[in-house]
Structure 1
Amino acid sequence: MSTSKYAVVDLETTGHSPSNGDRIIQIAIVFIENHKIIDTYMRYVHPQRPIPPFIHQLTSIGDEDVKDAAPFEKIAEEVADLLAGCIFVAHNTDFDVSFLQKELVRCGVSKWHGKTIDTVELAKIMYPTLPGYRLQDIAESLNISLKQAHRADDDAEATALFLLQAIEKIKTLPKETLNRMHERSFAMKSDVSTLFYEALKHVRGKETSSDYALFRGIPYLKSKPTTTSWPKPIEFPADDLAKDQVMQKIHPSYHVREGQAQLMDLTWQAFVEKKQIAVEIPTGAGKTIGYLVPALIRAYETKQPVVISTYTNHLVDTLAEEVQKLEKALQMTIPTTVVKGMANYISFGKFEELLHFNDEVYDDSITIMQLLVWLTETTTGDLDEVNVSGGGQLFIDRIRKRSMRVKKDERVADFYTHTLNNCQQSMVLLTNHSMLVNDQQRYDPLFHSISGLVIDEAHQMNQAAIRTHQQVFSYTKWKYVMSQLNGLSSCQLLFDIQDILKRFRFNHELSTERLQHSFNEFMLAFDESMLVLMNSNSNYDNKQSTRTVKPLSKRLRSNEIFDKVLRKMNEYIGVTENYAMPIQNLPNELTLHEQAALNEWLYWVNEMKIKAGEWIELFLEQPKSSTTIWMEKDSRSLPGSLQIKKSPINGSEVIRDFMDTFVGEAGVVWTSGTLTAGQQDRFVLDQAGLPSSVPLYTFDAPANFYEGAHTMIVEDMPDIQQVSNEEYIEAVADALIQTAVAIEGRVFALFLSHDMLKKTHQAVIDSESLQEDYMLIAQGVSSGSRHKLLKTFKQQKKAVLFGTTSFWEGVDVPSEQLSAVVVVRLPFTSPEEPLFKARSEALVAERKNAFIDLALPEAILRFRQGFGRLIRSSDEQGFFIILDRRIDTKSYGTSFLQALPKSSVKKVSLEGLVKEIENCYNDGCTNRKQVRK
């Protein structure tokens, strides 16, 4: 049993810097010994200065709470004595230890000395799939009591409970996993090694659980055998009463809705008759259940799987959760497989090879520890499950599965192979649009002999098909690949290969010199080509923005420097292949580390060959008339920001190719909340290349569904076409501030331009009007993915989220977390955007109107999606605020408004908008749930 005593500490302070006068206002310590909480200590502390309003709001600790408390000088020695001899535990020890040490020194007390355990680091290691590592995120995910976050006593108690839970989990790990983790734990920032050492003593002599298998000594969770027996078929609920009975099994209060009932019938009919249909069904009509129920019944009936595709992997995972809920509600087994692209899965062999390298940095080591734990838990091998740092993502990218070829011992452990095998036994196959459109390129297509196909988020299929066939040159990624073999004075991989050559007494000096010479020539040509690209077409440079997007002209691509780069690249690839040739025939004589180094060298040589092929396609091949090629750069970060992109102009040809497989063989349902764009009711279907014979069904939202939506046109905003960018940004910032103050937070501000977003965000900050009480979250400014930014927004009582294109759609936020959506500009695509420009020119060549046939319907679709962020259920309400006066002053403005569901529309001044919001809150807009304050 452990003899260690842990002191779990949490501090609440007036700020982050003791040297600037910040002080402790509350300290709590929870003591743990022999795996039990044995004592607690809590004191309020007088900071001898007013507590800032933001800290008061965050912690609920105010001046009144500390008025009778002693200053830290009075308790510093007592705290130091309590911590003596203990392991210091905190959720982010960098802050708590550092702040406390400075305060002890300030008070004339000796610094604390001892070991530390950071529970943020520990949580990342032991719970690698958690969505976030803030204490409240951990407490929520692991069902740990946390009465009030940002109170030292509650935080310390929750941290202590987490520590105990993590220690117990460590003890359950296989000893082979523990050994590997203990080896790497010494590279961690805190002393978590003590926990793994104690656990190793606990499991010494015990057999590894039969739940795990071993791949080259690495434990992983055994896959459970899949069943081939399907449950007894059930009948399709043909009438409303039968549908109601099904719905009430899902939830007692559910009743089938009109649009949902019709979607069920249409989906069933399409699958039975093997026809293709399109259905637009609005938010709130129960779309997912509407197609899932008939799809499942048809799969049972035919003993053939149904395929359901959606836009992103995140949405695929959400669909999987919906199937699980349905499975539970209907009390039936629904064999389901989620299928993503090969690169989403771990290459077990590559991972094992990299464990033999000795040049890991911190991000590598902690990511490896996360993966070792994850492998004992995952049933899919899907790397999306693991929450790693930005640096850890580089390691993840190195272990992605790239090829179906695996060694014999890896075949049984290969997660992707298991996934493909599971498809043969499944009723439901869930995938993304990119995987779907690429399926026909596989040697053995997955999605054949199916009972039906549902394409959800169908309005995104054309974009997915384009992106799937888009090629991208990224300067930073190319430099990363090139640096792996040579070019760095401390290139460890090159040194490893040299050491092997030396051990076997191969004469490598001359070949090393040749390697370096070839690399230098290649780099000189490559760098020269980058200068040519960066200095080209300066007339396209945007004077109002540092970002430039411009076509890559035929004249530019004919520059002989691009041929020279390919020639020097191929010479270099030949030299790198020859360099390791002498040791490739010695596999049985190499150590594990040497074999791993050789495999790594050959891997990067192959990556260079792939890059050579990409270079030919991007710079040397004549592009087809159906493709376009362009350059993107940001003058603030050249050459790092330089990208070249080559893309099909539209995805209809790609879509037709894969759809030919299903037409007449299986029913296909295209569905979305936004398939129509005003008077262009078949816009999305035409973009996807669907024939006019495919019927389109549209359904309205349930009656009164949008009664709580209030569309406001702010008519005293400056005309965006008549004023400078700076003047418009200033007006937008003022409107956002007044809206946020009136509604007390929970505002989405939707932009089209990152540049305008950043400048507006800065203008709001500079005004200091929202500084004390509001969290300002800006895409591309605040750190984190879209998912992380959205989660942060949901967790704040008062917040404004500044978002661009990806926030216009696919974001679900309940009404209590979102009160207003502000449209800064009507969402027209920039006419200089390369893909849009190429498509426009193609339409003009066909004597069509690019504005009416492309620009306007695209903008209306995006506008409808933005409106859809606001109201997600019938009891929600909020404000849809339009700042762009063109909706009122231009003839096309009515097309936007007519495309929205029926709801109130008012023209107001900014002052009038504020009054409308205040009146709505004070008097109640309707008898429904009020706008959140």
Structure 2
Amino acid sequence: MINKFVVIDLETTGNLPKKGDKIIQFAAVVIEDGKITEKFSSLINPNKSIPIFIEELTGLNDDMVKDAPLFSEIAEKVMTLLDGAYFVAHNVLFDLSFLQDELIQSGQEGFFGPVLDTVEMARILYPTADGYKLSDLAEKENLNHDRPHQADSDAQVTAELFLILLDRLTSLPIVTLKQLSHLSGGLKSDLQQFIDDLLVNKEDTLEQLSESIEIFKGIAIKRPAEQTATTNSGKEYQFPASEVEKTSLVNHAFEAFEMRSGQFTMMDTVYQSFQTEKHTLIEAGTGVGKSLGYLLPIAYFSRQKGLHIVVSTHTIQLQEQILKNEIPLLAKILPFKLNTVLLKGRNHYISLEKFSRTLSDDNDNYDTGLTKMQILVWLIETETGDRDELNLSSGGQLFWNKIKNEAALFLQNQAWQERDFYLNAKRKAQSADIIITNHSLLLSDIKGEGTILPDYSFAIIDEGHQFEKVASQFFGHTLDYLATRLLLSQFGVYEQKLLFHDLERLIASIPKKTEMVTPVTKLNQLNVDLAFETDEFFQLIALFAKSKLTNKKGINRAKVRFSLQDEAKEKKALVHSAERFAFLLKDFHSVILERLEWINRESDTLTRSQENKMEEIQSFLNELTELRNTVIYSFIKHTSDVKWIEIDIRSPQNVTTFIAQPASVADQLREQFFQLKKAVVLTSATLTVNKSFDYIMKEIGLDPVSTIQLTIPSPFQYNQQVQLLIPEDIPEINTVSLEDYVISITEHIITIAEATKGRMLLLFTAYDMLKKTYELIKESGFLHDYAMIAQGITSGSRTRLTRNFQRYEKALLLGTSSFWEGVDIPGEDLSCLVIVRLPFSPPDEPLTEAKCQLIEKRGGNAFSEYSLPEAVLRFKQGFGRLIRTENDRGIIVVFDKRIVTTKYGKAFLKSIPNVPIKKGRMDDLVEIIDSWL
């Protein structure tokens, strides 16, 4: 067994050795017998100048390397270091190909030993990590990484990380190591060789499995925690009614825990709402501590009445925060034990039985093989089996579709059901006091499609301002080009060895008693026709959208309303295509179903792998039915739903989505949700407009007379923590072109950024404006030493972009829709919030247009009843991004002068906390920023 590892890192003038890029710094750290035994690093003279972006990235410049040795002068030393070792690097193929080139040019024979890649190892051994960059992993393991992008520092950190990864790999159960070895043949590195050597050593010793792990049907998994019934010895636990009682309860559990009077008021209101069975709206300002404000009273109520209480949130982040922070806090306060469970939709959970069957498949591509390895390691850690824990590549997500949990025909093996994560979650929910879920799942029992939630009559809806929007999507339909193509491509043509091939092989393996009615040639022809019609159908959708955009120049992303009443020839062609598409889907479904039924009839027994294939094909058929129903609902059925197309003109083949949603969900929510529940409490930091709940009540169908309404202001001293600035030397947004507006705000953004040293969040209402502003700032060159992070331009999720923003000393974060809420950047990381324009939805945006038409039809005023309140709530959400704790201080700049020049502007200012407002020229406002910060 090789016991020597050399961890290498290089800095280079670029990415392409074949195009003459050269090494400018080499570093190696030697590990022998688990310890670092030697380090070597050297700057290298590349005999060419270092590009400016490499200098910015690495801090290395021409002066620093001019007296350094040439690579040929250290080549022999490098070969000596590598002799008899594994070559290890973070993204090994990059470093190896570069070094190989330089070694051979220096007259050495090059390195041809085994290699290991710490990126690959980290993806397998940390399947739930947020990211696999060296800096992300160093942060995760608390490794000191003081000079990223300098080879000696990177090599040292990679070596420390590698030792941790080796340790982790070595501690895996033998059964898992054997499975990983079997799967690792297709990796970029020689991990298989290393694992096989490891197994030789391990198999000589008796394995002591950790108590938390069990081997179940050949897979090592985390042993489920024992479900102990909560006995609280028949005591009657009374909800602490007075502030004194509540304070002593909390102080009993914590020294110096800060309870706020607003939080007490909230606790009492939630408890009373449930006791008196009344629906309630509570707007709780930032810093009230609303999670604990509802969790404490519902814990008592649940205990006293023996009932499940459902807590629903809009975002995964809030669910995680409740589980990781609030529930443990609650456990310390309560005098009794509480059972809490998190529930998600069925497809979120892995099917262990399906996964175990895929382990014997041989023809995995790279992504599938790696994903299986990730899952094998994850199963030793996960208690939930929830895919949201995993960091999967896009290829990994495709594989997930094969192993996700769903209702099954054949998977009836009792033994697997004992360990089924989905069934386990359902069982836990039956005995839980508090069930945490999301708005979509909360609504799923309305459709009566068999929900995972047990019966409940009391619920808390947190992030309640999102409830109406989720309900609209829930009652609606979506048809998307990429998803449709992806679904149909799962069946494939016969030669591709996908489901079509599997189906015909199954048929061929069964001794025939009766002939198949439909020949394979017909299925083949249907498949070809369907592929053609899918493309035709979506091209006609795009054509219809473009025909409506002829007078809108320069707009790339657009939403176009669709109506069956439209007389345009493009609409008629589209509807005809939809009819053909629906017929083809029906025929396709029938022929495949006929084959499945034939197999069921003719076969006496099926092998496990044949059952697995039948299961996959049945699942495919269910999705085909759903697709056909959506096509009929959207293009053939006359409904009152609003229908529209979202398209990107530059690449319609990638971005074409058809959406149908009800313009109002108030009646459906009232009749199918609120009237069936005894008490629902909706809470959020943004439910009122101009101190009134009228707008939200109308939107979700609550009766103002019988609904309790409570506003709890934030405990923060906004008038001492915030300055609101309105520059007067910017044109009114509606009086100039987009280009002119962008030029004038860009100038101001640069001025503000220099005054605040970055730490700025800029909120836009449209991606086009964000993109143009970003490009103009970049072009100007004024902020070249600032990190510019922009949604839709910088890659990554909202969470990742926010985390990157917090990492840099001087940074600007530009965001649109999703950044107006849920972004939490406390402290000095965020000192300035810029609201580029008031967040009105465009009047021609289909859902907005339809809602306004409904209001006008019944004689109302669409602007004051819908457009304005909706914009005010979004503005309040945006405003709430700046002050997250009582010690935060900051500046808010609103570029849109309508907030002070129009009558309706007052509605925005009256809906936020009282803060000092200053208007003036930008030069004068900069002085205020300087003295304030």
What's the TM-score, normalizing by structure 2? 0.91
Q: How far off its partner does 1:813 sit?
A: 0.7
Q: How far off its partner does 1:564 sit?
A: 2.4
Q: How far off its partner does 1:122 sit?
A: 0.7
2:714 is the alignment partner of 1:701: yes
2:392 is the alignment partner of 1:376: no
Q: Which one is further off, 79-88 or 504-513?
A: 504-513
Give the aligned partner of residue 609 of structure 1.
625
Q: Distance in 2 between matches of 1:908 and 1:74?
A: 64
Q: How far off its partner does 1:49 sit?
A: 7.5
Q: Distance in 1 between matches of 2:786 and 2:563?
A: 47
Q: Distance in 2 between matches of 1:289 and 1:854?
A: 32
Q: Distance in 1 between matches of 2:906 and 2:105?
A: 67
2:472 is the alignment partner of 1:472: no
Any idea what the Cα deviations from partners look like across 1:712-769, whole Å, max 9, x if unmatched? Answer: 1122122222222122222233333332233222221211112222222222222233
Query: In structure 2, the residue corresponding to 1:742 is in which secondary structure?
Result: helix
Residue type matched to 1:519 in 2?
Answer: N
Give the aligned partner of residue 179 of structure 1.
178
Select 1:690's aligned residue among 681, 702, 725: 702
Is the CA contact 2:718–2:914 (under 8 Å) kept in the aligned structure 1? no
Q: Distance in 1 between matches of 2:494 and 2:719?
A: 61
2:462 is the alignment partner of 1:427: no
Q: How far off its partner does 1:848 sit?
A: 0.7
Is the CA contact 2:30–2:81 (under 8 Å) kept in the aligned structure 1? no
Give the aligned partner of residue 407 of structure 1.
412
Select 1:437's aligned residue among 423, 440, 443: 443
2:548 is the alignment partner of 1:539: yes
Give the aligned partner of residue 898 of structure 1.
910
Residue type matched to 2:670 in 1?
Answer: R
2:274 is the alignment partner of 1:262: no
Select 1:549's aligned residue among 547, 555, 559: 559
Is the CA contact 1:496–1:597 (under 8 Å) kept in the aligned structure 2? yes
Select 1:514's aligned residue among 517, 522, 527: 522
Residue type matched to 2:870 in 1?
Answer: E
Any idea what the Cα deviations from partners look like across 1:410-434, whole Å, max 9, x if unmatched? Answer: 3212111101110122222111111
Residue type matched to 1:747 in 2?
Answer: M
Residue type matched to 2:560 in 1?
Answer: K
Determine what percentage of the aligned residue pairs are the same residue: 34
Is the CA contact 2:481–2:657 (under 8 Å) kept in the aligned structure 1? yes
Q: How far off its partner does 1:337 sit?
A: 0.2
Q: Distance in 1 between matches of 2:405 and 2:141?
A: 31
Give the aligned partner of residue 716 of structure 1.
729
Q: How far off its partner does 1:536 sit?
A: 2.0
Give the aligned partner of residue 85 of structure 1.
84
Query: In structure 2, the residue corresponding to 1:603 is in which secondary structure?
Result: helix
User: CA distance change for structure 1 residues 139 and 325 in 2, over 3 Å: closer, same or farther?
Assistant: farther
Is the CA contact 2:716–2:886 (under 8 Å) kept in the aligned structure 1? no
Q: How far off its partner does 1:809 sit?
A: 0.4
Give the aligned partner of residue 571 of structure 1.
587
Is the CA contact 2:494–2:501 (under 8 Å) kept in the aligned structure 1? no
Q: Distance in 2 between matches of 1:444 and 1:534?
A: 36
Is the CA contact 2:222–2:383 (under 8 Å) kept in the aligned structure 1? yes
Give the aligned partner of residue 928 of structure 1.
none
Select 1:764's aligned residue among 761, 777, 789: 777
User: CA distance change for structure 1 residues 422 and 78 in 2, over 3 Å: closer, same or farther?
Assistant: same
User: CA distance change for structure 1 residues 297 and 60 in 2, over 3 Å: closer, same or farther?
Assistant: farther
Q: Which one is further off, 680-689 or 709-718?
A: 680-689
Q: Equivalences for 1:587-666 in 2 at 5 Å?
A: 592-623=608-639, 625=640, 627-660=641-674, 663=677, 665=678
Q: Which one is further off, 84-93 or 868-877?
A: 84-93
Q: Distance in 2 between matches of 1:90 and 1:587?
A: 53
Q: Which one is further off, 462-471 or 571-580?
A: 571-580
User: CA distance change for structure 1 residues 908 and 247 in 2, over 3 Å: closer, same or farther?
Assistant: farther
Q: Which one is further off, 58-67 or 681-690?
A: 58-67
Q: Distance in 2 between matches of 1:597 and 1:207?
A: 36
Q: Distance in 2 between matches of 1:676 and 1:132?
A: 38
Q: How far off its partner does 1:53 sit?
A: 7.7
Query: In structure 2, the residue corresponding to 1:710 is in which secondary structure?
Result: strand
User: CA distance change for structure 1 residues 375 and 393 in 2, over 3 Å: closer, same or farther?
Assistant: same
Query: In structure 2, the residue corresponding to 1:536 is in which secondary structure?
Result: helix
Is the CA contact 1:498–1:508 (under 8 Å) kept in the aligned structure 2? no
Is the CA contact 1:844–1:850 (under 8 Å) kept in the aligned structure 2? yes
Is the CA contact 2:750–2:783 (under 8 Å) kept in the aligned structure 1? yes
Select 1:349's aligned residue among 337, 346, 353: 353
User: CA distance change for structure 1 residues 711 and 450 in 2, over 3 Å: closer, same or farther?
Assistant: same
Select 1:824's aligned residue among 830, 836, 856: 836
Q: How far off its partner does 1:510 sit?
A: 8.3
User: CA distance change for structure 1 residues 183 and 412 in 2, over 3 Å: closer, same or farther?
Assistant: same
Q: Distance in 2 between matches of 1:106 and 1:47?
A: 13
Is the CA contact 1:720–1:884 (under 8 Å) kept in the aligned structure 2? yes
Q: Report the RMSD for the aligned CA atoms in angstroms.
A: 3.0
Give the aligned partner of residue 568 of structure 2.
none
Q: Distance in 1 between matches of 2:49 and 2:238?
A: 70
Residue type matched to 1:334 in 2?
Answer: L
Residue type matched to 1:567 in 2?
Answer: F
Is the CA contact 2:174–2:199 (under 8 Å) kept in the aligned structure 1? yes
Query: In structure 1, the residue corresponding to 2:519 is in which secondary structure?
Result: helix
Q: Distance in 1 between matches of 2:529 and 2:20?
A: 57
Is the CA contact 2:748–2:922 (under 8 Å) kept in the aligned structure 1? yes
Q: How far off its partner does 1:856 sit?
A: 0.6
Is the CA contact 1:706–1:871 (under 8 Å) kept in the aligned structure 2? no
Q: Distance in 1 between matches of 2:575 and 2:272?
A: 58
Q: Which one is further off, 205-214 or 885-894?
A: 205-214
User: CA distance change for structure 1 residues 564 and 200 in 2, over 3 Å: closer, same or farther?
Assistant: same
2:787 is the alignment partner of 1:775: yes
Any idea what the Cα deviations from partners look like across 1:213-264, whole Å, max 9, x if unmatched? Answer: 5555333223122111244665433333333334445653333222112112
Q: Equivalences for 1:15-164 in 2 at 5 Å?
A: 16=15, 24=23, 26-45=25-44, 70=69, 72-105=71-104, 107=106, 109-146=108-145, 148-164=147-163
Is the CA contact 1:677–1:857 (under 8 Å) kept in the aligned structure 2? yes
Query: In structure 2, the residue corresponding to 1:686 is in which secondary structure?
Result: helix
Any idea what the Cα deviations from partners look like across 1:847-870, whole Å, max 9, x if unmatched? Answer: 111111101111111111111111
Give the aligned partner of residue 744 of structure 1.
757
Q: Distance in 2 between matches of 1:661 and 1:89?
A: 63
Residue type matched to 2:380 in 1?
Answer: T
Q: Distance in 1 between matches of 2:603 and 2:777?
A: 63
Q: Distance in 1 between matches of 2:864 and 2:690?
A: 11
User: CA distance change for structure 1 residues 60 and 444 in 2, over 3 Å: closer, same or farther?
Assistant: same
Q: How far off its partner does 1:587 sit?
A: 5.7
Residue type matched to 1:340 in 2?
Answer: K
Query: In structure 2, the residue corresponding to 1:380 is in which secondary structure?
Result: coil
Q: Distance in 2 between matches of 1:779 and 1:336?
A: 35
What are the ranges of 5 or more consecutive residues in structure 1 without an aligned counterpart? 926-930
Q: Distance in 2 between matches of 1:598 and 1:188?
A: 30
User: CA distance change for structure 1 residues 503 and 679 in 2, over 3 Å: closer, same or farther?
Assistant: closer
What are the ranges of 5 or more consecutive residues in structure 2 without an aligned counterpart? 566-570
Query: In structure 2, the residue corresponding to 1:655 is in which secondary structure?
Result: helix
Residue type matched to 2:40 in 1?
Answer: Y
Select 2:341's aligned residue among 337, 350, 359: 337
Q: How far off its partner does 1:361 sit?
A: 1.8
Any idea what the Cα deviations from partners look like across 1:69-112, whole Å, max 9, x if unmatched? Answer: 54545333322321233211112223333343344455555433
Any idea what the Cα deviations from partners look like across 1:288-346, whole Å, max 9, x if unmatched? Answer: 22222222233333333332111123321221112343156438743210011112111
Q: Which one is further off, 226-235 or 502-511?
A: 502-511
Q: How far off its partner does 1:482 sit?
A: 1.5
Residue type matched to 2:220 in 1?
Answer: P
What's the TM-score, normalizing by structure 1? 0.91
Q: Distance in 1 between matches of 2:237 and 2:50?
A: 65
Q: Equivalences for 1:296-315 in 2 at 5 Å?
A: 296-315=299-318
Is the CA contact 1:502–1:508 (under 8 Å) kept in the aligned structure 2? no
